Amino acid sequence: MDCDGEPTGAFGDAHTLNVWSAMDGPVILWIHGGANTVGSSAQPEYAGDFLASLGVVFVSCNYRLAADGYGALEGFQHNRGLRDVVSALRWIQRNIARYGGDPGNVTVAGQSSGAQTVASLMVMPEARGLFHRAIAHSLAGRFFTPDEAVEVQRAAELDVLYQPIVDGDTLPRSPLEGPYDVDLLVCHTADEDPELFQRPTTRFADEHGRAFRSIYARTPAHHGADVPDMFRGDIARAWASFARDGDPGWPREELKRWVNSPS
């Protein structure tokens, strides 16, 4: 156990948090993407200083990746990477008030496989009640059964595809199947792969039934092109507003298109 009571095992640097806080406010927990295989909350483009200046207490976390986090390993519980993020949410509930954050107003946000984690948290029993809103950009919409996870790992020679495992326990059902009990904001980019990202994101919003929707249509609009505006532009302002009171700045029935240059 670490000094705050969370299990550590052999996490090493995978079990770390970063906090930016300039004033009291709602909390956003950022979950980075990277195909559940690579990436880090320490990447400079994920700095939370601008969002903190908007009145958000911004937290980012690392979590176990690849085989350590998502491999189907005999004798180990599935979805260890997801459970690391739940651990971060528990830490927030216990400690974020010290940094001015409101533990009763927590939003989880992620892009690509990070959005896949957000969707997973929305149906995980362990995460219930630990957050109140969710933001998912470009949801990577594939999930494995335990047998599929084993087969993919066995067949791969070099590049293994790691996905959350719908095991009926840590992840009881596909995150693309509701119901959900938190508010949701989704976005996908105009030119990213429809099958991998656009359709799962749309299906997720449809299944939710009352999500705020948006499309990133600025040039370029490839997968990940929206990330800078999440941390330095007008999307960041919409996130801060959504985290504060559930309203990103447009009606639920409207499809927001990010087309003009951010200000």
CATH code, residues 12-258? 3.40.50.1820
Least confident of 12-16, 149-153, 258-262: 12-16
| H-helix segments, the chain | 49-53, 66-70, 80-95, 113-121, 146-155, 199-208, 227-232, 234-245
* Domain boundaries along the sequence of the chain: 12-258
Closest CA to 28 of 260, 235, 249, 250: 235
pLDDT at residue 1, as a whole number: 39
Instruction: Note the pLDDT tens digit of each residue in 24-68.
Output: 999 999 999 999 999 999 999 999 999 999 999 999 999 999 999
Instruction: Note the pLDDT tens digit of each residue in 220-241.
Output: 999 999 999 999 999 999 999 9
Contact between 64 and 80 under an 8 Å Cβ cutoff? The reply is: yes
Closest CA to 102 of 180, 209, 24, 34: 24
Instruction: Note the pLDDT tens digit of each residue in 80-127.
Output: 999 999 999 999 999 999 999 999 999 999 999 999 999 999 999 999
DSSP tag of 16? -
CA contacts within 13 A on the Cβ side of 15: 20
Residue indicated by tokens 């892009």 = 111
Instruction: Note the pLDDT tens digit of each residue in 162-211.
Output: 999 999 999 999 999 999 999 999 999 999 999 999 999 999 999 999 99
CA angle 43, 54, 231 (to 5 degrees): 25
